[in-house]
Structure formats: C-alpha cells, structure tokens
Structure 1
Amino acid sequence: MSSHLSDAFLAFAVPECRETSTLYCSLTEAIAADEDLLLIAGQAPVGQPVPNLLFAAVHYLLVADPTHPLAEYYATCTAEPKDSTQAFPAFKDFVLSHQCEIIELLQTRLVQTNEVRRCACLFPAFMYALRYFDPQPLALLEIGCSAGLNLLWDRYRYEYDESGKEYGDRDSPTLITSEFLGKRSAGLEDSLPLVTQRIGVDLHPVDVSLPTEVNWLRALIWPEQHERRKLLEAAIQQQQEVELDLRTGDGFAEVSSIAAEIPADTLLCIYHTHVANQISREKGQAFLEAVRELGRHRDLLHLFNNLYDAHLRLQVYRGGILTRETLANTDGHGRWLEWLA
C-alpha cells in the first residue's frame, strides 16, 4: 500500500473537509486504508492534489449518469442523500466498475477549482495594496487562472457581515459573501480601479463556452456545497460579458515576457492563489527572482499564497524599492479572512 498516498488522503480528511463535506470526509478516511483504490488514485500525475482529482473524476461521471447506487449519497444527484458514513461500499464499486474512465480523467484533467469566493479575499487585498500607488490603469496577470473567473474580482459585489452593507461593484449580478474575523482592511470603500487588461495564464485554461469544461468545474465542487455551485454559475455568466485574455502556458516561467507587453504607465498586478504549491521550490525561487528583476525597472504588486505558507502575502515594488507585508490568514474557499496587515 502506498503510505504516501494514504497519508495524503488522511491529511485531506482532517483540515480540508471534516467540517464542510461529511461525505468526502468519510470516504477519504476509508480510501486511505484501501489498497485497490489507492492503486487507481496513484495513476494521477505527480504534483496534482490526488484526493481532489479522484473525487472530481467520480463526481463528473456520476452526475452524467446517476443510475449507480452511489448517486443516492450525493446531494447533486438526489434531494435527500443517504447517510454519508455508509457510502464507501457503493463508492468503491463505482470506482472499480468505471476504472478505465476514471484513470483517463486522472491522467488528462487537472484540479482547477475556480473558487470564485476567493475573490472575497482578493478584493480587500488589492484595494489595500493599491493605496501604495497613485490612481492609474491596472493590468491584471493571474497565474493558474483556470476559467479566469477571479480576473473579475473588481466586477463582483461583496458582503462581509449581516448588515447588508455592500462593497465592490454594487451593480454586479454576482454577490459574494464572506466574513472578517476581527478587524477589516483599509481601502474597502475606495474608488474601484480602472482595469485595462485582464490576462490569465494556465497550463490548461478552461473554456466556459464548452459544456464539458463547465461540467468539470462543477464536478470539482463538493456535492453538498450548493452555494458554491450557484456562485460559479453567476460568475461564468458574467465572465462571458467581459473581455479576457486567457493563455495556455506556464505563467511562473513566462512572467517576464508577459510583463514586457504591459505599457509602462500601467500598474502590473501579478497574483496567484492555491497554485504555487504545485511547483518545485527551485521553480518558485526562479519566479520570485524574475519578479524581483521586473520590480527593479517598473512599479508592480505581487499578491500570493502557498509560496512560503498559506498566508496571503503582498510584495510591492515602487520606485525599485520592495515592501513586503503579510496581509491575511484566509479560508481556502474564501468563507472568512483574518486581516493581519
């Protein structure tokens, strides 16, 4: 049995889904002890979060044909799911009976969860960071953009408590709710910036005009989380009304060449969330050096997590001088943020 994979599933169960998906938590702990399923899960490429990928592959196939008994445990397939702690036998049967299709998905798909609610953390972080600069046009460059939905952080509407007070684009059809734990960031009510370029780079950008691609994004969302799916649908609708420049490539390696396209009078905003953990330490250091070199010649800001730790961090290059700040501790799905700056 693969102890490494078993540990990965156990680690996924505790911090990731114990409080947010009773189904996945129960299944994850059982998978961690099942040699047959670990062997199949091990077909995923190196660097991918294997539990997420396996669950998405199963979810994708099950929703397309919910005739298997496993569907009775999934909230996306039935209005009254059965006891999730009893789901494992049906789950294992489904995986074994769909082994070829699942392995193909494991080997050809990526975990590209376009978690729109993460914009609830991006919005205050950007509004705070922009206070370092005079008002000017922005060029957004998101690395690991998936479908590009988080390139629209300035086009969404936000609520952070139950008072009903809204921030961001108050005319937006997409409402994102979240919560500050403790103090709030400065800049929430500042004027929204003018964004002139929205560039997203991904190894496999998701084209939301294709139903199969949208279905994969849906499959990446856990079955019980209806609100996440509703938010995804609203953001996809809005994305189709905005001009995005989505590119296939390695944004970490290509940041310098992309930056060369950005006019000097435009503030370059580089950001990435929950993707840097999929690259090597050496590649991460090379990327940071490339950003440092860019910062010697132009103003820019770099917003990120998962390079050093899970905290949301900011690098500001202004007049060739680097300022670093740890901005926030955030929930991985954007449900809350603890402002630290």
Structure 2
Amino acid sequence: MSSRLSEVFFSFAGQECRGISPLYCSLAEAVAADEALLQIAGQAPAGQPVPNLLFAAVQYLLVADPTHPLAEYYATCTAEPKDPTQAFPAFKDFVLSHQREIIELLQTRLVQTNEVRRCAFLLPAFQFALRHYEPRPVALLEIGCSAGLNLLWDRYRYDYDESGDVYGFYGDLSSPVLITAEFCADRPAVLSDPMPTVSERIGVDLNVIDTSLPAEADWLRALIWPEHHWRRCLMDAAIKRRSEFDLDLRNGNGFAQVEEIATEVPLDSLLCIYHTHVANQISQAERESFLKTLNQLGQQRDLVHIFNNLHDALLRLQIYRDGQQSEIPLANTDGHGDWIEWLA
C-alpha cells in the first residue's frame, strides 16, 4: 500500500503542483518518503485522490484554528507565508497531533472541488453543442455537481482577455460573478450566441454540499490550494450567486441514475448531461455501463453529453440527434480553467 501511495504523492507533486503550488509540491514530495504519514493517508477510501484529500483535511483544520506553527506556511492563514520548502516538519507534527480528526475527515469527506472557473470552457462547449439543434429549452444535468455552482454557467459573466473592456464580456452581462480565462488562440465565434433558456438545473453527487452551512462551505474552500486566493474569491462570489437560484441537487450516483432522471425531463427540453474531472473516479465497467445507457437514451430522445476524463483529458462532446450519435473533441483545457485550447 505505502509504496503505491508513495508513487501517487510523487506524481501529484510533479504533474499537478510544480509551478502551481510550491507548498503542496514540497509537502507531497516529503509525504511520499514518510511511512508514518503514508499510513495515515492510506485511510482514505478507494477511488479518492488521496493527496488532495489529505491536504484539504489539514487545511480545513488549520484554518479553523491557526495557532499551530504550520499556519505560518499557509497563505490562507498569514499574509506573508514562510519558505514552503521548510514546512514539512511542522506539517508532520500537525498531522500526527491531529491524527484522529484527520482520519475522520479522510473517511467521511470527498474530493469534490467545485471549480467555478471551469465554466469558462463550459460556456463555449454548450454554445457549440446547441448550434446542432433547433432552439428549445435546455435541461441541465450535472454529474458530480458538488455544491451545484457549475449548474449556473449561463448566469456568470466572462472575460477571456482580462482587458476589463465591457465590450469583451460574454455570458450574463449583468452577473456580479466575473470569470476570467484565456484562449490559447482565437476565441470561438459561438461565444457571442444568445444564452439558452434553461428549464431545469439538476445536479447529482455522492455527497451534495450545502453551502448555506458554514462547515460545508469551509470544506469547499479547504479543497482550494493555499496560494490560490483568487479561486477562493471566485468561489465565494459564486456561492452568493447560487443562493439566488433554486437548484435541484440530489445525493446519489449520477452515472448510475442517468436513465431514471432522464424520464423526468420533458421531451420538448433538450437534455444536456455533463461532468468534468469526475469520470476518472469510476471503474471501467461503470463507464461502459453509463455510455451504453446514453446510447439507449439517444435512440429515444435528443441529448447532449459534454465531458472529460472518460477516454482522455480532452473536453469532448457527444451529440445525439434523431437517433444518430456523433462525437467531437472540443478543447484541451487547464484543470482549473485558466486556459483553453479550442479544437472544435
């Protein structure tokens, strides 16, 4: 167990954190070589991204009581954090002294980051998909919705060159939530298409997060890496925006329940099923069963399927129209939504 988990932490440091989170990069490399901490991290349930879960559990507890010396290394606890490469001794002491609480969080919480900035690539993805159909109301079904913040992708304002020029904004121009991102090349023309009418907003997650509860909102914030202050600010703005809408959020396995939920959506609405950075957490058998169900549904009604991490990291679109199915690679995207390489 510890050898395999050690490789997971080394990979996390090199592939996900280097150049993005100096603190987590340094800590992940050190944890990978520490048997005691690997044993604690190994208490996480199968299928969960263990480094993300461990670091979120630590940050969740630390922010709630920032009196431990470890707080001096976290940008969430101090305006001038110390050298991240020197943080591990304090980190290990914190984990060992809070072992019971951390294991409880590992076993009861999930990595379900509601990365609002991913809406920056959902907007053009949906607009591109809707060009393949006659105008009609759309019913959104997000699998792995977390707190449901990305069910409101059409209710945010977007700036793709960070110019601040109002004429360069897209989406809901009256929205107080502004999402910035960058296209690696030209922006797709679909960004200027009118917003659709959304008839339903349904989200399914193994553990829906109720952001009206402070402890739940704090867990979402703990999943954001310490140096990424702008991500926390955006999430807080989206949480406030979300309070203005009545979303249909349900606990359950959306991949297994998609057929049941689809029966609730009227045929005159275009069913739009989407999930981002979730499918890598389910088995191959579950993926195959899900895709088989979609194919069966696509014989009965028109629907859209937008996803990544099912076959590969690309954002992809499956179109089911008049009983015919086609698939289009849409974009290569940054996991946090910072940049988009549009391919469609």
Q: Which deviates more, 159-168 or 240-249?
A: 159-168
Q: State the Cα distance separating 1:17 from its structure 2 match.
A: 1.2
Aligned residue for 1:187, secondary structure, equals helix
Question: Using the alignment, how far apart are the partners of 2:43 and 2:188 within structure 1?
Answer: 43
Q: Which residue of 2 aligns with 1:215?
A: 218
> 173, 191, 194: which one pairs with 2:194?
191
Matched-pair identity in %: 71
8 Å contact from structure 2 (residues 37, 92) kept in 1: yes
Q: State the Cα distance separating 1:113 from its structure 2 match.
A: 0.4
Q: Which residue of 2 aligns with 1:45?
A: 45
Question: Using the alignment, how far apart are the partners of 2:54 and 2:264 within structure 1?
Answer: 38
Q: CA deviation digits over 1:98-128, x for unaligned, max 9?
A: 0000000000000010000000010111011
Alignment of 1:1-341 (within 5 A): 2-163=2-163, 164=165, 165-341=168-344
The one-letter amino acid paired with 1:198 is R
The one-letter amino acid paired with 2:258 is V
Aligned residue for 1:141, secondary structure, equals strand
The one-letter amino acid paired with 2:132 is Y
The one-letter amino acid paired with 1:193 is P
Question: Using the alignment, how far apart are the partners of 1:119 and 1:131 within structure 2?
Answer: 18
The one-letter amino acid paired with 2:173 is R
Question: Using the alignment, how far apart are the partners of 2:44 and 2:105 within structure 1?
Answer: 9
Q: State the Cα distance separating 1:2 from its structure 2 match.
A: 1.3
The one-letter amino acid paired with 2:95 is V
Question: Using the alignment, how far apart are the partners of 1:312 and 1:62 within structure 2?
Answer: 35
TM-score relative to the length of structure 1: 0.99
Question: Using the alignment, how far apart are the partners of 2:315 and 2:190 within structure 1?
Answer: 17
TM-score relative to the length of structure 2: 0.98
The one-letter amino acid paired with 2:232 is R
| Structure 1 runs of 4+ with >4 Å offset | none
Question: Using the alignment, how far apart are the partners of 1:126 and 1:199 within structure 2?
Answer: 16
Q: CA deviation digits over 1:135-187, x for unaligned, max 9?
A: 10010000000000000000000011133310000100000000001132231
8 Å contact from structure 2 (residues 159, 170) kept in 1: yes
Q: State the Cα distance separating 1:245 from its structure 2 match.
A: 0.0
Aligned residue for 1:333, secondary structure, equals coil
Question: Using the alignment, how far apart are the partners of 2:290 and 2:211 within structure 1?
Answer: 29
Structure 1: state its 5+ residue gaps. none
Q: CA deviation digits over 1:264-301, x for unaligned, max 9?
A: 00000000000100000010000000011000010000
Question: Using the alignment, how far apart are the partners of 1:331 and 1:13 within structure 2?
Answer: 17
The one-letter amino acid paired with 2:274 is Y
Aligned residue for 2:264, secondary structure, equals coil
Q: CA deviation digits over 1:201-236, x for unaligned, max 9?
A: 001000011000000001000111000000000000
Question: Using the alignment, how far apart are the partners of 1:171 and 1:323 within structure 2?
Answer: 35
Q: State the Cα distance separating 1:329 from its structure 2 match.
A: 0.4
Question: Using the alignment, how far apart are the partners of 1:285 and 1:276 within structure 2?
Answer: 11
Q: Which deviates more, 294-303 or 11-20?
A: 11-20
Question: Using the alignment, how far apart are the partners of 1:169 and 1:182 within structure 2?
Answer: 23
The one-letter amino acid paired with 2:304 is L
The one-letter amino acid paired with 2:84 is S
Aligned residue for 2:182, secondary structure, equals coil
Aligned residue for 1:153, secondary structure, equals helix
